[in-house]
A and B are shown apart, each in its own frame.
Chain A
Amino acid sequence: MSHAKKSRFPLLMTFLVFGYAFLYGPILSLIVYSFNESRLVTVWGGWSTKWYGELLQNEQILSAAWLSLKIAAISASFAVVLGTLAAMALVRFKRFRGRSMLEIMVAAPMVMPEVIIGLSLLLLFMAMDDILGWPEGRGQTTIVLAHMTFAMAYVTVVVRSRLAHLDNSLEEAAMDLGARPLKVFFAITLPIIAPALVAGWLLAFTLSLDDLVVASFVSGPGATTLPMVVYSSVRLGVSPQINALATIIVVLVSLAVLFAGWIMVRQEKQKQRENSQ
């Protein structure tokens, strides 16, 4: 017994150390180097927070960050609405014309290469601009539309699984007590699936904030998102400001992930309590 424990334990520890090293090593080095005094990214020159100071002076990066956050928030919100509607349709209506089509189209953005999504959306927007006159040119609107489209797929998956577990009889009970369908949706269905909506929103927000490829295709002059700025500045020679910026983003994203995790744990606990009784 004690022998087996001895021989298994170091092996597990090794796995664990390697796992964490691969996952967090790059991020950790990035955070450490953001406090580097030296102008050269790869040479350590002592501790400093000066790059954070310079970052806050950099108009280009700050406005790109603001634009990215705006786009992420707007596209995530629309994606949640559309994704929820798609999920409702797929869960509630067992058979309707075009069901499998919808199912495939909803899953498509998740499996299609981003380059193809970006290119096809660009072509679509150009054609629409020609024929309808909207969206006029390319910029913030087209990025929002593009992000909405692919983030919606992820929201649908999240909301759909929650809806599938929702007891139909809850809505029946509400209807029996005199609630009309719209009232049932807002008073019963929505509050119960709310954690899934929050998780979906956060996911969509992160995906949008993260996206470089699709945004590069569909953006135009004057709409440069943060990943685009970072990418182009890296090509011209990395400034330690990027490390500082990355650190800030890592912290924000970690907080968001922790928050989402907390919500899901709470949801899971409640489900367990509901099931255990």
Chain B
Amino acid sequence: MTDVSKPANAEHAQPIVRIEQVTKTFGNVYAVDDVSLNIYPGEFFSLLGSSGCGKSTLLRMLAGFETPTHGRIYLDGQDVTDLPPYERPLNIMLQSYALFPHMTVEDNIAFGLKMEKMPKAERDERVREMLALVQIEKFAKRKPHQLSGGQRQRVALARSLAKHPKILLLDEPLGALDKKLREQTQFELVNIQERLGITFIVVTHDQEEAMTMSSRIALMRDGRIEQVDAPRRLYEYPESRFAAEFIGSINLIDGHVVKQEDDQVWVQSEQIDGLLQVRHSQPLVNDMAVTVAVRPEKIQVVPALSQGSNTVQGVIKEIAYLGDVSIYHVELPSGKRVMFTQSNIQALAEQPMTWNDSVTLTWQPNACGILVK
């Protein structure tokens, strides 16, 4: 098993951000509860969770707007826990963008540079560079209220990058954009991050956004970290029911272990006739209660009368046509419902599956996982 606390390409790197057992309470509410994290240089790191999970509070503690109740925060080896925001070697792009309404776009971008007393010639050069980076040269002389939402987002990004920080924090950077623009901007953000080699730490509630952009994701819940992993591993190998259900959709089948041989585990479930076979390398105890997790797209339709493990029969009860794929809900004899998706390869299939059709479904032992938690 690889060490998931480090990204694959950073085996020997020193963390640029070290969060050590940080707790933040507001009254007797634990907004952030004993969180430890290492973030490495050049990462595009996402803090993912639903609202109120503590991800924004954690980001605000990194920026210095909040002080941890317990624990320490190190940036580049330096303990910054008690430093005010204006002495921290990082910048933040706030969710509201917080553009200064009385300044032009140029002046907004130049603000941080003026604060560090950069000479005017150099400053102008840097502002030009930033305007070009986010492609808003045309709007340099405008005031924020004369810009569209997407343009403001770019100004905010340019302003937070102007001081060439090593670390950039982004609080819901795409939250205020409409869907089309958001998808475009996701890739642009990744491009900019790769080009500048800056460590990005992004707070988001949108799992798709986190999956698209991040090199690693920390999934948060109730102030704690549920799982830290690369997007692919988080999707394919969720470690808990919460993680499995938070990202994408998934079928969960409760049962108990009946047999284990090498890296194969057999699980019996009251919800399903026959045994479930799962590839799982960790040793498990017989009779242990487990949940088998199968993603809908890993399930195949096979001809009736097929036998073997991981094979179930049922009746199609619901169909949702989404254009690229269709989602089918199949009811098993036990009443349990299983979801599977099929991509709509043909424009109009000759004999499409329809309501109340009986189908036989199967999946590979290595296409599903076991959740113990």
Contact surface of A with B, Cβ cutoff 8 Å: 167, 169-170, 172-180, 183, 187-188, 191-192, 270, 273-274, 277
Contact = CB atoms under 8 A, between A and B. Distances in A.
A180 B86 contact: yes
Interface of B: 63-65, 84-86, 88, 91-92, 94-96, 98, 100-102, 111-112, 115-116, 144-145, 147-149, 152, 159-160, 163
B148 A167 contact: no
Contacts of B144: 274
B190 to A, nearest CB: 23
Nearest to B117: A178
Contacts of B94: 169, 172-173
B115 A172 contact: no
Contact of A175 (B84, B96, B100, B145): B84
B165 to A, nearest CB: 10
29 contacts: A167-B98, A169-B94, A169-B95, A169-B96, A169-B98, A170-B100, A172-B65, A172-B85, A173-B100, A175-B64, A175-B86, A176-B63, A176-B88, A177-B86, A177-B163, A178-B115, A178-B163, A179-B111, A180-B86, A188-B100, A191-B102, A192-B100, A192-B101, A270-B145, A273-B145, A274-B101, A274-B144, A277-B147, A277-B149
Given A183-B115, A277-B147, A277-B149, A176 B91 contact: yes
A178 B100 contact: no
B102 A178 contact: no
A167 B116 contact: no
Contacts of A174: 100, 111
6 nearest CB pairs, A to B: A177-B112, A178-B115, A173-B98, A169-B98, A175-B85, A273-B145
A187 B111 CA distance: 10
The secondary-structure label for the interface of chain A is: helix
A178 B147 contact: no
Given A277-B147, A277-B148, A178 B98 contact: no
B113 to A, nearest CB: 9
B98 A172 contact: yes
Nearest to B115: A178
Contacts of A177: 86, 91, 111-112, 115, 159-160, 163
A178 B88 CA distance: 8
Given A177-B112, A277-B149, 6 more contacts: A177-B91, A177-B115, A177-B159, A274-B101, A274-B145, A277-B152
A174 B88 CA distance: 13
Contacts of A172: 63, 65, 85, 92, 94, 98
Contacts of A170: 98, 100-101
Most chain B C-beta atoms within 10 Å of own C-beta, residue among A177, A180, A192: A177
A192 B63 CA distance: 24
Contacts of B98: 167, 169-170, 172-173
A179 B148 contact: no
Nearest to B85: A175
B49 to A, nearest CB: 21
Nearest to A272: B145
Given A174-B111, A176-B85, A177-B91, A167 B100 contact: no
A206 B102 CA distance: 28
Contacts of B148: 277
A167 B98 CA distance: 8
B139 to A, nearest CB: 13
Contacts of A187: 111
Contacts of A176: 63-64, 85-86, 88, 91-92, 160
Contacts of A167: 96, 98
Nearest to B152: A277
Contacts of A175: 64-65, 84-86
A179 B84 CA distance: 10
A78 B102 CA distance: 25
Contacts of A270: 101, 145
Contacts of B92: 172-173, 176
Nearest to A190: B102
A208 B170 CA distance: 50
Nearest to B60: A172
Contacts of B63: 172, 176
A277 B111 CA distance: 23
B167 to A, nearest CB: 12
Nearest to B93: A173
A178 B113 CA distance: 9
Contacts of A183: 115
A1 B85 CA distance: 64
A125 B86 CA distance: 45
A179 B115 contact: yes
B318 to A, nearest CB: 41
A212 B355 CA distance: 88
A170 B101 CA distance: 9
